[in-house]
Amino acid sequence: MNNDQSKLFLKNQPTFKDFQEYVSQLEIERGFAEQNVLQKCLMLGEEIGELFKAVRKKEKIKVDQNSKFGSIDEELADIIIYLCAVANRYDIDLEKAFRDKEEINKKRVWS
């Protein structure tokens, strides 16, 4: 299916749950739903590397001219997609996980 024909819609001001549901549907629509968690984790790692390259370029640190990567905002968006995909495969509610982890972090002593 051509991206112009996509029936997917992400509402304005989406919650984490909205992002996770959107990613679940886009994986079905684009034929990625059968990829396992290992594949998704490896792709997430690749996207993090592409983010680092985009930051290096922005900070005027030399980057291989043959490297393929997008802008910082594009790479961050890709990371969110893969993060949601991994969470979906483990039935993890990212918003709840974030809130739970922040409650732990609030009690930590940061120096």
Give per-residue pLDDT as tens, 77-93: 999 999 999 999 999 99
d(CA 106, CA 51): 28
The chain-wide mean pLDDT, for the chain, equals 94
The answer as to whether 8 is a domain residue is no
Per-residue pLDDT, 4: 59
pLDDT at 5: 72
Q: How many domains does the chain have?
A: 1
Q: Return the pLDDT at 6.
A: 79
Q: 82: domain range?
A: 14-106
Indicate whether 4 belongs to any domain: no
> Which stretches of the chain drop beneath a pLDDT of 70?
1-4
The reply to whether 95 falls in a domain is yes
Q: How far is the C-alpha of 49 from the C-alpha of 44, rounded, in Å? A: 9
In a domain, 2, yes or no: no
pLDDT at 110: 86
Name every residue whose Cβ is closer than 8 Å to that of residue 58 and which is 6 or more positions away in sequence: 72
